[in-house]
Amino acid sequence: SQELEQSPQSLIVQEGKNLTINCTSSKTLYGLYWYKQKYGEGLIFLMMLQKGGEEKSHEKITAKLDEKKQQSSLHITASQPSHAGIYLCGADNPGSARQLTFGSGTQLTVLP
């Protein structure tokens, strides 16, 4: 089955700083999903990427999928305390219908 590795595991930044979270797959990514989770709550869908080289943005968050479709990055510009939480990437699992494999998550803390 597909394995996703996220880095870093945790990240502490000062408000206003930019940051990047990476998600690397052991296999070709056919669909890559980014989610955000507040501690003790459910996951909120952020973006989905499918095509090599694809890039999507929502407010100050930009996600990219590399041309080889094995790595995705999530970039936050001018971070705010509201960006704090756990960011998880999830990938379509070609070996099984209708389920995602998730990375272990990146814990983001933004200091005011």
Partner 1 sequence: DGGITQSPKYLFRKEGQNVTLSCEQNLNHDAMYWYRQDPGQGLRLIYYSQIVNDFQKGDIAEGYSVSREKKESFPLTVTSAQKNPTAFYLCASSPPGLRRELFFGEGSRLTVL
- Interface with partner 1 by CB under 8 A: which residues? 1, 4, 6, 9, 31, 33, 35, 40-45, 48, 88, 90, 92, 97-100, 102-105
The least CB distance from residue 27 to partner 1, in Å, is 16
The least CB distance from residue 34 to partner 1, in Å, is 11
The least CB distance from residue 82 to partner 1, in Å, is 18
CA 30 to CA 38: how far, in whole Å? 27
User: Do you find a cis peptide bond into 8, omega within 30 degrees of 0?
Assistant: yes
Question: Which one, 42 or 112, has the nearer CB to partner 1?
Answer: 42
Question: Which one, 23 or 76, has the nearer CB to partner 1?
Answer: 23
CA 36 to CA 46: how far, in whole Å? 7
Nearest Cα to Cα of residue 63 among 84, 45, 37? 45
Question: Which one, 40 or 112, has the nearer CB to partner 1?
Answer: 40
CA 98 to CA 30: how far, in whole Å? 13
